[in-house]
Structure 1
């Protein structure tokens, strides 16, 4: 359905200028190296599927309101460019690629005129607001996970054209695949729209999502993925927009929505353990918990230097996200670095860095990185 939207709206030259600016900014910041950043890189490429947490701009060319290609998004990105990343700056995919010494920015698959090196070292197929429930991307007109796999097949064909069959196999064999989705299924499709909650209780809806998870992981494995990191759900009920929608007059975390995320995480871990027993199909399949670190950021933000943990930085910080977070009518807080969340749904660059540091410290060794 979205194949016609693969037009390349940016030039390779523009992309290289932005990447160079990021490299220069990182050099000036002298960020300490994390696990896996010393010596030769152990990963050939980073290949990502998922939702807005991992979307660096694939939604930009779609007919959807779920976009971040306008100010104030990207206000702290190199050149203050709103690339489509749902944050004030970098997102987890960028920090992961940097931490693995692969490259400084992980580009979107769509909307960019890639250089051969861009493709050889990986891209993100993620699309903001998608999910494992097939209804989720349809509601908001974004790229389904099934379509992301189709784009991956197209991407692999491009690799073959650039590098040949043998080198393409080496790249895919040595790549880190990351899968991150499911939050929009529960936060939006289940709790915000009536389409699923009228038909399913939470446990049965989680079971529906697990069918999608298993199918997707098997499809990624069948396409040659040897190392897969599967990201669990955050404490959905503590996200600013969810506090507003379901947290009552005091905007406290919503226990029911957190419980749904925890149930999903528990069942996904059980599924991953079962799938992992088939070592031929899943040589390395690792569940990555982000619930714990984000809950700690929300509960004890001061430990990390944050002073605001319940509101986003964009406008009131209670409901504004995507089209509602627009610099034309949504002012931004004075000090973004004090906020865990940039809009009412997505963390700030600094919070993302804390989350990815946690992932490197706790999970990368299990991915043999």
Structure 2
């Protein structure tokens, strides 16, 4: 019976229903188990006999679905014009005008249309089984990064994940929880705030570390986090590198001179970090049985879009859509800010975060290149 539940849960449901002799508790468990894997229709063809019950996300504002909404921090965006293109025009706390990569990836995998924030007060038990986001805008691998803006550090995101596991076990049982965790896809998106803000803009670490040693600190933190979620049951884990942070509109304005060019020093630092992270994940992947650790390169796809915008359908890649596009982010992008006429032609929504269309182009490239590496 357990083999049927774990390998072909919906076939198991039909078998139990047709024979009609199964205990009620097993029948109900089967119904619940089918609900875990039957979300929206998948647009990605997965390998045969592969299921992805849910998507779990950790990290920063790229993956924050609204966890910062009730924090005493300036790093929140649960107000217009954020969310202007989201369902109902709601500002949910997502750091863009519409959906985030988490939403898009979950939908493409056929899990569900939207990934909720774990700290959303309206979160229901049924939401847990198909995945949530623990991410908090403004956080990073360096503990100092989250302290600067009073957001949820990765250490606390890990504690919330442990709490989540407890709730899941109470709902569907320990064996089914283990199966869900082993087959979920986990995403870890962090590092940009450490480099762009903590190291370069505020220079809080640049007197203590050169960029090589600071990159080592970040990679060690990322590696430690991956090992901890692995011990808790995660097996399919995607770890994002950092983008060309020197090309973010905010950094162009602060350090790109009068012409607001990309800041080469910042981009070189990002490449150093990405190289070290990729190497460490290769090493780690060989030491963790059954783990699929996937390094996700977003630097090169994004720099290609920036250097060849019209090939990807964009007209503006050096400014955000909100306000002047030079500096506006979080509270500086607000209901009094003007919004560009054609958001789909802008790569960036504010001075840090892509538009929904920008994310869509990136997600399409990422899924095409990496999805099969998780299986």
Provide TM-score, normalisation by structure 1.
0.88
Q: CA RMSD in A?
A: 1.7
Contact 1:41 1:102 in 2 (8 A): no
Q: What is the CA-CA distance between 1:367 and the residue it aligns to?
A: 0.6
Q: What is the CA-CA distance between 1:39 and the residue it aligns to?
A: 9.4
Contact 1:44 1:171 in 2 (8 A): yes
1:347 aligns with 2:337: no
1:37–1:218 distance in 2 versus 1, CA, 3 Å: closer
Deviations 1:333-353 (A, max 9, x none): 111111000000000001101
Larger displacement relative to structure 2 (114-123 or 53-62): 114-123
Query: What residue number does 1:219 align with?
Result: 228
Query: What residue number does 1:185 align with?
Result: 194
1:172 aligns with 2:204: no
SS of aligned partner of 2:175: helix
Contact 2:64 2:137 in 1 (8 A): yes
SS of aligned partner of 1:286: strand
Equivalent of 2:257, from 242, 245, 248?
248
Equivalent of 1:326, from 316, 334, 342?
334
1:41–1:80 distance in 2 versus 1, CA, 3 Å: farther
SS of aligned partner of 1:59: coil
Separation of aligned partners in 1, 2:139 and 2:316: 28
Deviations 1:75-111 (A, max 9, x none): 0000000000000000000011001111000000002
Deviations 1:234-261 (A, max 9, x none): 0110110011111010000000000000
Query: What residue number does 1:238 align with?
Result: 247
Separation of aligned partners in 2, 1:79 and 1:39: 37
Separation of aligned partners in 1, 2:341 and 2:176: 49
Equivalent of 2:83, from 61, 74, 77?
74
Q: How does 1:141-220 map to 2 (within 5 A)?
A: 141-220=150-229
Gaps of 5+ in 2: 1-38
Separation of aligned partners in 1, 2:369 and 2:48: 20
Q: What is the CA-CA distance between 1:34 and the residue it aligns to?
A: 4.4
Deviations 1:6-31 (A, max 9, x none): xxxxxxxxxxxxxxxxx9xx99xxxx
Separation of aligned partners in 2, 1:147 and 1:114: 19
Query: What residue number does 2:302 align with?
Result: 294
SS of aligned partner of 2:277: helix
Separation of aligned partners in 1, 2:344 and 2:84: 12
SS of aligned partner of 2:320: coil
Larger displacement relative to structure 2 (164-173 or 229-238): 164-173
Separation of aligned partners in 1, 2:305 and 2:205: 31
Query: What residue number does 1:336 align with?
Result: 343
Q: What is the CA-CA distance between 1:112 and the residue it aligns to?
A: 3.1
1:277–1:37 distance in 2 versus 1, CA, 3 Å: closer
Query: What residue number does 1:303 align with?
Result: 311
Contact 1:59 1:142 in 2 (8 A): yes
Separation of aligned partners in 2, 1:235 and 1:90: 22
1:227–1:136 distance in 2 versus 1, CA, 3 Å: same
Separation of aligned partners in 1, 2:175 and 2:233: 13
Separation of aligned partners in 1, 2:125 and 2:73: 29
Separation of aligned partners in 2, 1:258 and 1:237: 5
Q: What is the CA-CA distance between 1:153 and the residue it aligns to?
A: 0.5
Deviations 1:163-185 (A, max 9, x none): 11111111111110100100000
Separation of aligned partners in 1, 2:274 and 2:340: 33
Deviations 1:218-239 (A, max 9, x none): 1111111111001111011011
Contact 1:41 1:101 in 2 (8 A): no
Query: What residue number does 2:111 align with?
Result: 102
Separation of aligned partners in 1, 2:207 and 2:291: 39
Q: What is the CA-CA distance between 1:40 and the residue it aligns to?
A: 8.7
Q: What is the CA-CA distance between 1:202 and the residue it aligns to?
A: 1.1
Deviations 1:257-301 (A, max 9, x none): 000000000000110011011142x62101010111111111111
Separation of aligned partners in 2, 1:223 and 1:120: 16
Q: What is the CA-CA distance between 1:35 and the residue it aligns to?
A: 2.7
Separation of aligned partners in 2, 1:61 and 1:41: 38
Provide TM-score, normalisation by structure 2.
0.87
Separation of aligned partners in 2, 1:349 and 1:146: 29
Contact 2:43 2:110 in 1 (8 A): no
Separation of aligned partners in 1, 2:229 and 2:128: 18
